[in-house]
Each structure stands twice: as structure tokens, then as C-alpha cells.
């Protein structure tokens, strides 16, 4: 997820510690796995990726092939949520503007704003509409050489991320605008909506976290986006503050689908977790099969804990120590915390996945409702079309779903 690894790609770790901006605690670098590659503009790129858990590569990657088939089938059957398709450009022109700034087609490079598993994210400005865009840049030659399983490469992961994002259209999900893939060059670009707001955990509040009213707004937005994904049988796989972005108007958006998976039906069983260790659900730490949606819900709980308290609920000195604490340590909450918020955190961070609070329950929880009411269900484009077809066929049963903008 995010700046995390794909399935099956284990990397050498470092033992130093670093502080996390906006957090009151420390995060062990042993929880992350790093690697180096040359970035698209020729600079030195140092990305970070997380570990995977136990089991064989072939066993773990088996679902990825099914994901590609599912995505292709959905595309062929028009089961996408976008009224306006993602623009696909098959030609790359790399030039400079009159000020010597590098350009990719009509986009003028400004500065690097982040890193992912296989490439970097750079802020560009369009010379056509003047708007800013975040562009993920990759080397195809590197992706196809980077083996993530016996029969798959990192290119598989990137293409799956693109395929998933081509289907999504929701106000709380970062939008994919354009894919630039020239078969005659080594460069591959994903042009994304630029979310200019602050990182979700930046700010001040009780115990170094964010004030409660703001946390509620952020959580409602995140739950809305995550419910939309799960309704389409998509598991994000890396819900965490780094992958939640806030616009200048205070709207939260979920980003980075680099380790997301799609399922044909409600059977979302997975073998491994590719996510960030401190956000990993207990059942994932045990190396057993687990359900992706409920693991997403645990990660949402860890994220809420971080936003409220400014630290992680479970973290150790080593990777294994962190997993042990996730599995065995009781949840610790400070005295004086809002009882409703305490109940919500305890429900989300329930170690038994069968007893863990569901997203539907979160959406109707008294703390989440606050003064805003239950989180409205988003009527997406593909479901709207399906309901209209059912109504025209005389088979529509219940079209009373709230449309959110």
C-alpha cells in the first residue's frame, strides 16, 4: 500500500529509528523495507516498501491473476463508475519550457512530492489548463525486471493499479486523469488529481492528535470512500495516514491503490498482507488466510487512533515484536477519552475479525453520526445505470439510495 511493497517482494531492512512527522511516537525503520532505483528523471530514487508475511509466492500471488480477469470482464461489460473515461495517451514528448523546466507532453515539472514502491510522484502543471497534477513516473524496463512472483513482475502490480483506478469515481477517492504509455519509450506515467491539502495527521489537538470534530469529518469521508470500494469488491490493502489526503477545502480522499485487489464476489479471502506492518490486522500477523475488507477496517481503526492520539496503538522495537503486540497486547486508551469514541476504537480494533465492527456499523455509530447524521450511501454511475436498466425492465426493487456529491 502506498509506499509499500507489492505481494511477495521482501527487501533488506534497516535498524535505525526515525520520528514520524505529526506523531508523538517513533517508528522503527525495521518496519519498512527499502530499495534503490534510478528515477525517471535520472535522479537517485530511494523508495520504501513493507514486508510480506508467511507462505510461498505462488500461493500468495494466485489471486492476482484472477484480479486481472475480473477487471477485464468488468470493463467489457461496462461495469465502471466513470462517465468520463481516463484519457490514454500513447506518445511521450519530453522537452523543456522557455525557463528550462522539464516537460512531459503538456505537463511542466515543478518538484518531487513523494515516492512509491516502484517510482516517484512529481508535481506538474498543465500548460493547457494551468492546473496542477500529481504524476507517478515509472521505468518500464525496471518494472518488468522486478520479479514479485515466479510468473509476475512489478509491471503487473502497476497495470492492476491503473485498471482499478480506471473504474473508480468517488468524491473521497483520488481521481486518475490520464495514463501516458508510449510503446517506443521506457517511460510510463499516471496523471492523478493533485490534492494540495495537508497530510491527515498534521495539526494540533489533544495529546498531539487532531481535534475531535476534524477527526470525525476525516473519518466520515474515509469511511464513505472505503464503503464504495468494498461495495465494488475492491480491497484497498493499505489504509493509513500517508494514503489519506486532504484537499484545501477539507475533503479527505483515499489514494494509492498499488497493492489493492479486486474480487468477483464477496469472497475476499487472501493469504498475505502487503500493507504497512503497524497497520496490519492480528489475523494477518499469524500467517493465516484472512478477509481483506475486515483487515481494511482494522487499518481504519489504527488510522483513527493515530489521528486522535498522535501515536500508534501497537508498535515494538522490532518487526516481530510489533506483530506480537498487535496479536497479544490489549488496546490501551487514555482516561478521559470520549466514551463514544472509546467504544468506536474498541470496536474497530477488536482482535477477533469475526467480532470486529463492520463499516456499516461504523457509518451508523453514534460518535460518527455526530450532528451530521449517518454517512449517506453513494449512488455510483455503474449502480445508477443498473438500477435504470432494472426499472426499464420492470425488475427494479429499491432505487431509494442517497446520491452524494
Greatest mean pLDDT range, 2-11, 95-104, 375-384: 95-104
202 and 186 in a common domain: no
Please tell me the predicted confidence (pLDDT) of residue 367. 96
CA distance linking residue 61 with residue 274, whole number of Å: 11
For 186-211, how does the pLDDT look when each residue is reduced to its tens digit (9 = 90+)?
Answer: 999 999 999 987 665 654 444 556 78
Mean per-residue pLDDT for 1-18? 30
Take residue 118 and report the three cell numbers written for it: 516502484
When pLDDT is averaged across residues 167-176 and rounded to a whole number, the result is 94
Residue 399 lies in a domain: no
- What integer pLDDT is reported at residue 201 of this predicted model? 60
Final residue belonging to a domain, choices 130, 161, 193: 193
Asked, for residue 3, whether it belongs to a domain, the answer is no
Cα–Cα dist 146/50, whole Å: 16
**Do 224 and 341 fall into the same domain?**
yes
Q: Mean pLDDT across the stretch 234-259? A: 92
Instruction: Write down how long the chain is.
Output: 405
Answer for the pair 122, 139: CB distance below 8 angstroms, yes or no: no
Q: Is 374 inside a domain boundary?
A: no
pLDDT at 186: 95
Angstrom distance (rounded) from CA 155 to CA 95: 26
pLDDT reported for residue 43: 40
Residue with the bigger pLDDT between 227 and 399: it is: 227
CATH number of the domain that residue 86 is part of: 3.30.200.20
Q: With bands split at pLDDT 50, 70 and 90, how would you rate the model's confidence at 129?
A: very high
Q: Sorting pLDDT into bands at 50, 70 and 90, what band is 273?
A: low
Segment among 12-26, 57-71, 170-184, 362-376 with least mean pLDDT? 12-26
Range scoring the smallest mean pLDDT among 222-231, 280-289, 340-349, 383-392:
383-392
Q: Which of 193, 222, 250 is the last residue of a domain?
A: 193
The answer to whether position 10 is within a domain reads: no
CA separation, residue 293 to residues 51, 99, 348 (Å): 20, 48, 12
| Cα gap 125→18, rounded to integer Å | 32
* Domain count across the chain: 2
- The answer to the question of residue 402 being in a domain is no
- Give the other-Cβ count within 10 Å of 386's Cβ: 14
Q: 3-state secondary structure string, the chain? A: CCCCCCCCCCCCECCCEEECCCCCCEEEHHHCEEEEEECCCCCEEEEEECCCCCCCHHHHHHHHHHHHHHHHHHHHCCCCCCCCCCEEECCCCEEECCCCCEEECCEEEEEEEEECCCCEEEEEEECCCCCEEEEEEEEHHHHHHCEEECCEEHHHHHHHHHHHHHHCCCCCECCEEEEEECCCCCEEEEEEECCCCCECCCCCCHHHCCCHHHHHHHHHHHHHHHHHHHHCCEECCCCCHHHEEECCCCCEEECCCCCCEECCCCCCEECCCCCCHHHCCHHHHCCCCEEHHHHHHHHHHHHHHHHHHCCCCCCCCCHHHHHHHHHHCCCCCCCCCCHHHHHHHHHHCCCCCCCCCCHHHHHCCHHHHCCCCCCCCCCCHHHHHHHHHHHHCCCCCCCCCCCCC
Verify that 212 and 184 share a domain, yes or no: no
Is 166 a known ligand-binding residue? Answer: no
Catalytic residue among 238, 242, 268, 296: 238
- Residue 397 belongs to some domain of the structure: no
Backbone torsion region of residue 345, taken as left when φ is above 0, otherwise alpha when ψ lies between -120 and 50, otherwise beta = alpha
**d(C-alpha 293, C-alpha 283), whole Å:** 12
Q: What average pLDDT is seen over the chain? A: 78
CB 119 within 8 A of CB 189: no
Residues 66 and 43 in one domain: no
- For residues 249-261, give the mean pLDDT: 91
pLDDT in tens, 131-171: 999 999 999 999 999 987 777 788 988 998 999 999 899 99
Instruction: Verify that 182 and 225 share a domain, yes or no.
Output: no
Write the CATH number for 223.
1.10.510.10
Same domain membership, residue 349 and residue 283: yes
Model pLDDT, residue 377 = 79
Residue 115 lies in a domain: yes
The predicted model scores a pTM of 0.79
Q: Is the pLDDT of residue 349 over 70?
A: yes
What is the band of 76 on the pLDDT scale with cuts at 50, 70, 90?
low
Q: Does the active-site annotation cover 57?
A: no
**233 and 170 belong to one structural domain:** no
- 385 within some domain: no
Domain identity same for 47 and 76: no
Do both 84 and 104 map to the same domain? yes
Domain extent, residue 188, equals 57-193
| 87-89 vs 176-181, strand pairing mode | parallel
**Above 90 in pLDDT, residue 101?**
yes
pLDDT tens column, 15-62: 332 333 333 333 333 333 222 333 344 443 233 333 333 333 444 444
Based on the fold, state whether residues 213 and 92 are members of the same structural domain: no
Mean pLDDT of 348-367: 95
Amino acid at each position: 500500500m502506498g509506499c509499500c511493497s507489492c505481494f511477495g517482494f521482501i527487501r533488506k531492512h534497516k535498524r535505525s529509528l526515525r520520528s514520524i512527522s505529526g506523531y508523538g511516537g517513533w517508528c522503527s525503520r525495521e518496519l519498512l523495507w527499502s530499495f534503490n532505483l534510478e528515477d525517471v528523471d535520472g535522479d537517485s530514487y530511494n523508495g520504501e516498501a513493507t514486508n510480506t508475511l508467511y507462505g510461498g509466492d505462488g500461493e500468495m500471488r494466485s489471486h492476482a491473476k484472477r484480479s486481472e480477469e475480473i477487471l477485464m470482464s468488468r470493463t467489457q461489460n461496462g461495469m465502471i463508475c466513470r462517465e468520463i473515461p481516463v484519457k490514454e495517451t500513447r506518445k511521450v514528448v519530453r522537452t523543456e519550457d522557455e525557463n528550462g523546466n522539464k516537460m512531459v507532453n503538456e505537463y511542466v515539472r515543478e518538484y518531487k512530492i513523494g515516492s512509491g514502491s516502484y517510482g516517484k510522484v512529481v508535481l506538474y502543471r498543465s500548460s493547457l489548463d494551468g492546473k496542477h497534477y500529481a504524476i507517478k513516473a515509472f521505468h518500464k524496463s525496471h518494472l518488468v525486471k522486478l520479479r514479485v512472483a515466479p510468473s509476475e513482475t512489478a509491471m503487473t502490480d502497476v497495470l492492476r493499479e491503473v485498471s482499478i483506478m480506471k473504474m473508480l469515481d468517488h468524491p473521497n477517492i483520488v481521481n486518475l486523469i490520464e495514463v501516458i504509455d508510449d510503446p517506443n519509450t521506457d517511460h510510463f506515467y499516471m496523471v492523478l488529481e493533485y490534492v494540495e491539502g495537508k497530510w491527515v495527521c498534521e495539526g494540533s489537538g489533544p495529546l498531539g492528535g487532531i481535534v475531535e470534530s476534524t477527526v470525525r469529518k476525516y473519518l466520515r469521508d474515509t469511511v464513505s470512500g472505503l464503503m464504495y470500494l468494498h461495495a465494488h469488491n475492491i480491497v484497498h490493502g493499505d489504509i493509513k495516514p500517508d494514503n489519506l489526503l486532504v484537499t484545501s477545502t477539507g475533503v479527505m480522499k483515499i489514494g494509492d491503490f498499488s497493492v489493492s485487489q479486486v474480487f468477483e464476489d464477496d469472497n475476499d479471502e487472501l493469504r498475505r498482507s502487503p500493507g504497512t506492518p503497524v497497520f496490519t490486522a492480528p489475523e494477518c500477523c499469524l500467517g493465516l488466510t484472512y478477509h481483506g475488507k475486515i483487515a481494511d477496517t482494522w487499518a481504519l481503526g489504527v488510522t483513527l487512533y493515530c489521528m486522535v492520539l498522535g501515536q500508534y496503538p501497537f508498535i515494538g522495537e522490532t518487526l516481530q515484536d510489533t506483530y506480537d503486540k498487535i496479536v497479544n497486547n490489549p488496546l490501551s486508551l487514555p482516561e478521559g477519552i470520549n466514551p463514544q469514541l472509546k467504544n468506536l476504537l474498541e470496536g474497530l480494533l477488536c482482535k477477533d475479525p469475526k467480532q470486529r465492527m463492520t463499516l456499516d456499523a461504523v457509518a451508523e455509530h453514534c460518535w460518527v453520526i455526530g450532528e451530521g447524521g449517518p454517512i449517506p450511501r453513494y449512488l455510483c454511475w455503474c449502480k445508477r445505470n443498473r438500477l435504470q436498466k432494472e426499472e426499464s425492465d420492470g425488475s427494479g426493487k429499491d432505487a431509494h439510495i442517497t446520491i452524494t456529491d
